[in-house]
Amino acid sequence: MTLHATVDGPPDAPVLLLGSSLGTTGAMWQPQVAALADRFRVVRYDHLGHGGSPVPPGPYTIDLLGREVLGLLDHLGVGSAHYAGLSLGGMVGMWLAAHAPERIDRLALLCTSACLGPAEVWRARAAGVRAGQLGSLADTVVSRWFTPGFAAARPDTVAGYRDMLTATPPAGYAACCEAIAAMDLRADLAAVRAPTLVIGAADDPATPPEHAADIAERIPAARLAVVDDAAHLANVEQPAAVARLLRAHFEPEGGTNP
Ligand SMILES: O=C(O)CC1=CCC(=O)O1
């Protein structure tokens, strides 16, 4: 199985992998591509069960999602890469940096959590989606992705991300919910060696900024930044601020550290 990925930027530039959130694809990162692809070979992949990637039967685990990313790196002939992931993408990033530290140079974790219970809520969401309820869940899920002010000002953008969610294969979405249900990465974080930037969003109800602070405390070489006026998809709501933070983190010699 090879994950689907979209590649932008110079072929000889350092590779920056971008991992997206549950119910989105690599297109979620579109607001940052122009700001990153001049300095990096930006590889936006779709998680297993999402977008153009294969949808094997679930349940999945974060280990499985992480091993698939290692397979993608092997397929691309890339030894090591920078990695930025939002939400589910951040969970996979934590797993990669802890379990394959030689493959991850610098790490950024956005709007994510090392342990996102309660497990029974995620298992119930998985069961509902398997029973055909992804469409009826969509408004509730998307209401956590954007602040009310952004949703009112940018209805077309919100509708586009809602469409991305409802286009997700239900079997893949459900299997990834089960991966989140079973996940507890807290004890792994002490093993992360990559210099890490943890980004929380002040108005994120899904993975509140306290989750970002907890991750930053557990990773030895981590810094914490909190983006204002943004909910869960902070890279969409505050594209320039997030792009600035990522550039400064991934090119520390050329940028200004936050
Ligand atoms: O979909 C949600 O409710 C929020 C979320 C948790 C993990 C993820 O990727 O998105």
Q: What is the pLDDT, as a whole number, of residue 219?
A: 98
Contact 220, 191 (CB under 8 A): no
Region for residue 208 given its phi and psi (left: phi exceeds 0; alpha: psi -120 to 50; beta: otherwise): beta
Q: CA distances (Å), 66 to each of 24, 69, 92, 179, 221, in order?
A: 17, 5, 5, 11, 21
Segment 153-190, tens digit of pLDDT: 999 999 999 999 999 999 999 999 999 999 999 999 99
Q: What is the pLDDT, as a whole number, of residue 256?
A: 38
Q: Kindly state if the Cβ of 232 falls inside 6 Å of ligand 1.
A: yes
- Phi and psi at residue 160, to the nearest 5°: -65, -40
Residue 109 CA to ligand 1 center (angstroms) comes to 14
Q: What is the pLDDT, as a whole number, of residue 252?
A: 73
Residue 255 CA to ligand 1 center (angstroms) comes to 30
User: Which amino acid is present at 95?
Assistant: W
Mutate to test the pocket of ligand 1, among 18, 22, 111, 165 (most ligand atoms within 8 A of CB): 22
In a 3-state reduction of DSSP, which class is residue 15? strand
Ligand 1 atom, smallest distance to 141 CA: 3
Residue 153 CA to ligand 1 center (angstroms) comes to 23
- Span 216-241, average pLDDT: 98
**Average pLDDT over all residues of the chain:** 97
Instruction: Say how far apart CA 171 and CA 161 lie, in whole Å.
Output: 19
Q: What is the pLDDT, as a whole number, of residue 254?
A: 56
Q: Kindly state if the Cβ of 87 falls inside 6 Å of ligand 1.
A: yes
Residues 6+ apart with CB under 8 A from 49: 55, 56, 58, 60, 168, 169, 171, 172, 173, 175, 176
Instruction: Say how far apart CA 118 and CA 32 lie, in whole Å.
Output: 32
Residue found by looking up tokens 């956590």 in the block: 144
Fill in the DSSP letter of residue 58: S
Instruction: Say how far apart CA 68 and CA 90 lie, in whole Å.
Output: 15
Residue 85 CA to ligand 1 center (angstroms) comes to 12
Neighbours of 120 (CB within 10 A): 9
Omega before 155 cis (within 30°)? no
Q: Is 31 exposed, middle or buried (0-12, 13-18, 19+ CB in 10 A)?
A: middle
Residue found by looking up tokens 């790490």 in the block: 107
Q: What element of type H or E holds 141? A: helix 134-145
What sign for the dihedral angle of Cα 203, 23, 96, 41? negative
- Span 55-82, average pLDDT: 98
Contact 91, 113 (CB under 8 A): yes
Instruction: Say how far apart CA 208 and CA 105 lie, in whole Å.
Output: 26
Q: pTM of the entire structure?
A: 0.97
Interface ipTM: 0.96
Mutate to test the pocket of ligand 1, among 18, 20, 21, 110 (most ligand atoms within 8 A of CB): 21
Q: What is the chain's Cα-based Rg? A: 17
What sign for the dihedral angle of Cα 95, 97, 101, 103? positive
Segment 96-130, tens digit of pLDDT: 999 999 999 999 999 999 999 999 999 999 999 99
